[in-house]
Amino acid sequence: MSNPNIDEAYIMSLTYREMQKLCKDRGLAANGNTNAIRERLLADNQQRLPETPKQKTRASRNEDGGVHTPELSVENSPSSNELTTPKRKTSKPKTSSSSRKRQKIVPGSLTPPKDWESIWSLVEELRADKSAPVDSDGGQELPETHLGEKVYRYQVLVALMLSSQTKDAVVGDAMRKLQKHGLTVENIDATDASTLNSLIYKVGFHNNKTKYLKQVAETLISKYDKDIPKTAAEMMELSGIGPKMAYIIENICFGTSSGIGVDTHMHRMFNDLRWVKSKTPEQTREQLEGWLPKDRQN
């Protein structure tokens, strides 16, 4: 006997005679018009739902023209979850950010570019006359030396903070105005922001630098006994201090070098020389440290 448990869509597709046969299979009355028989089968189907989940099966015709719906075995029948819940596409696990992170270059692990020493010697020769603006208005030359080591180190830090996006001559002019005003940690902390801003207004981003100078002065007084931090890593925690400034300050003030200070101009120049192949000053610094001898990094 045919399986009487079939879905509604299949019942709706049956012919009049096929519905009559299915009614007989289910023990139902097979008389009446097409709509009456169809409604009788649908009603009977609803009563069977709690016992048997709905299955979509393809009917085949027997040799006698009757309708046959194949039995579903336990092994082949889908579970109720598969019938009612659409399958979700399984996605590949996302790659963690740590695995995508660019690997840092180990100092000394890269092969130096060809003939770099000859270019280095040429630069040393060209710089021997000390005629560039940085030689008179750089972070090492501008600070006052007669006010003690703490003041000297603080003024080195200030000069480097002012140097970002600013020509050396403009930095020199601003530093001399600050020194005339009194360039100590205590005095900058006591100076109101508008006055301080008027003293450095020619430097690039002077509004931000005024804010940073005030914040740094407060931090140095409360945390470092009016001195500056001894390491580049600590300096970079101060407002307005980036890697380039920190490495240069560290070298000038403490004679140590934990990294190379690289600005935008050096980044472009070293790429032009093919000493590095980088997209940012920070990548340039890493690649230089990867092959440049330590005694040349100061």
The residues annotated with a catalytic role in the active site are 244
DSSP state of 294: G
Measuring CA to CA, how many Å separate 41 from each of 1, 46, 259? Answer: 17, 9, 85
For the CA atoms of 153, 157, 158, 163, the dihedral, rounded to the nearest 10 degrees, stands at 140
Q: Is residue 97 exposed (0-12), middle (13-18) or buried (19+ Cβ within 10 Å)? A: exposed
For residue 57, give the DSSP letter.
Answer: -
Kind and range of the H or E element at 61?
strand 60-61
Query: What residues are paired with 68 via a beta bridge?
Result: 60
